[in-house]
Every structure is written in structure tokens, then in C-alpha cells.
Amino acid sequence: MNVLFRSICLFLLVAYLPFRLSAEDIYSDNIVIILDGSGSMGDTMKSRPGSSKMAIAKQALKKVSELVPNETKIGLLVFEKHSVPGQYQWNYPLGTLERANLAKAIDKVEAGGGTPLGEYIKVGADRLLEERKKQYGYGSYRLLIVTDGEATDYQLMEQYVPDVIARGITMDVIGVDMADMHTLSKKAHSYRRADDPESLRKALSEVISEISGNVSGNALADTDEAFEILKPIPDEMVLNMIESLAKSGSDPIGSVQVSAEPPSDTGAAAAQPQNQPTAPSPGKPVQNTSGNCGSGLFVFLIIILAMISIFKKISNSRSRSGDDWKGRRHGR
């Protein structure tokens, strides 16, 4: 029992130390927006003569950015007119949300060039993985792709996307004024069509609304009593373990070969044939769920902690009962 107890405690320490280091500071939601700034985005949106897809996308992004929780870290990455192949400059580096600066970064985008989705998916995902290391694996990590066409580096996209999914990064894709479904509709966690300004704003709003926000202080406070049994372990020793564990699964995208299986589908999405999905109505997502294990793992850990606490109380109770029995026996 002692060996099992210590093994479980050691495992739980890895999950618990970030809370002791101030969970409110470590945990944050992270979203990287990859905006297609290719030449075709400069074309007129079919449903809105006189307005380009880029102008409408920029307007929608600025409007929807007002809905992003203040605690959320956000980044904007655009392949556009001024982009240099192989050189990736963040329009807005992933970090603290400053709405005015984000709006300025969006305004500067100009349509032009190709659609290197594969390259930029890797850059965005790698940055999210770096942030995940810093946050000891806590938080949520999301890649939002807004595009109006297929990737010009299709092979790279095919190589990187399964790896991104396998790392636990949520990938949402919005197809802007596209005649057909995007290839990523069968690979990402969700896909939404946006054939007019309103459906684009709605699609962006739906993705943003899924951002959970920061960890509730009350939720953390509820676990304090259960975690009391872990306090005697030195922080420095466990921190080394945490840092080692955090590196696992956070290597750059493409460094590990993974199966090119898409996220498992549920509901209506599961009924769609794999070769050609049925196009949803504008703004309606095709939802693929890969199962976010973060919240499930947290609940599992709390249950284990509760069990440990109960076992400890039972053990203490038995110990006291044994001492009482021995006292009574010696008193006879």
C-alpha cells in the first residue's frame, strides 16, 4: 500500500506543482489566427459586390476580437503581399491581448502572393507548443485558419496537419467564399463556411466563444484540502520533474511521424462520406472531436486525490483505533 501510495503521490505532484506556483499565472488560453492574405483574397466577395474578401475579413476580425477574453493570449500570422518565402514575421506575436495594437496589425495586411498554408500551420503550431512548455502543459491551445483557397504547399500541409492534431492543438478552419469544401474540412476539428460578411462574423464569433477563459479561483480553492498531503515534497525537486515532463510532446511539428488519420467524427459529421463531404450551410460548422483530455485528466486527478485523502483518513483512524486498543489492553 505504501509503495502504491507514494507512486500515486509522485504522479500527482507533476500535475499539482503548477497550482502551487500560482495557477492563475500559469494557465491561459492561447489562440493563433492564421489569415490567408493571398492574391485571391483581394477578389470581390460574390455576395457583396464592391467589397473584397480581405476587406471583409479584416473588418470581421477586428469586430470579433472585442469578444476575446482579456486573459487570452492571441497571435496573428498572415501570408500576404509582403511575405518572404522561408521568413515568417508575426503580424501580432502570440502574447497578451492589446486590442488597439491587434487592430493596427490587422489593418496593415495587404492581399498578394500564394497560399503556403502548410508552412504557416507549422510556424503557428510550433509557437503554441513553445507556449505550452512555459505553461507546464496547462491551458488550451487553438489554431484558427481563415482561408479562401487550397494550399500551394499541399504536401507540407498533409505532413504537418496530422502531427498538429496529435499534439492536442485544436484546429478550426473557416472557408471564405469557397465554391467547394476545403481539404482541411476533413482534417480539422471544425470547419465552417463563410460566404457572406454575416456568416464570416458568426463563424469567427463561434470559435472565439469556445475559448474557456482562465481557471476559476473557486475551482482551485476546492482542491486545497486534498492537496495538503502533497505539501511536504520540496518544490525544487518536483519542478525538475515538471520541466522534464513538459518537454514531452512539445517538439517542433514534423519531428515525429504520425498517422494521417483525421479527428474522429461524431453526429452528422460522422455520416459524411470520406471522399467528398456534404457542404454545410454558411456559418454552420462541420465538427470533428478529437477529445480534449485536459479537463478529463483534471477531473480524474481530483477523484484520485479524494480517494487518497479518504484512504489516509481511514489509515489514521485505524491507527488511532489500534493505539486505543493497545492502551486498553495494557490497562487491564
R_g of the chain computed on alpha carbons: 24
Q: Residue 28: helix, strand or coil by DSSP?
A: coil
Q: Residue 287: helix, strand or coil by DSSP?
A: strand
Q: Which residues pair with 95 in a beta bridge?
A: 74
Domain residue extents for the chain: 2-21+216-251+296-331, 28-214+261-291
- Specify the DSSP class assigned to residue 250: -
Decide if 164 contacts 124 (C-beta within 8 A): no
- Put the strands of the sheet holding 285-287 in their side by side order: 92-96, 73-79, 29-36, 140-147, 170-176, 190-194, 285-287
Instruction: Just give the CATH number of 28-214+261-291.
Output: 3.40.50.410
pTM of the model: 0.68
Low-confidence ranges of the chain (pLDDT < 50): 1-3, 5-7, 9-10, 13-15, 17-21, 23, 213-227, 229-230, 233, 238, 241, 244-245, 265-279, 289-295
Predicted confidence (pLDDT) per residue in 2-28, tens digit: 445 444 544 554 445 444 445 455 678
> How far is the C-alpha of 160 from the C-alpha of 173, rounded, in Å?
15
Nearest one of 152, 149, 131, 153 to 140, comparing CA atoms: 131
> How far is the C-alpha of 185 from the C-alpha of 75, rounded, in Å?
23
Grid cell 486573459 in the structure block, residue? 71
> How far is the C-alpha of 17 from the C-alpha of 23, rounded, in Å?
9
Predicted confidence (pLDDT) per residue in 87-144, tens digit: 778 999 999 999 999 999 999 999 999 999 999 999 999 999 999 998 888 889 999 9
> How far is the C-alpha of 195 from the C-alpha of 274, rounded, in Å?
23
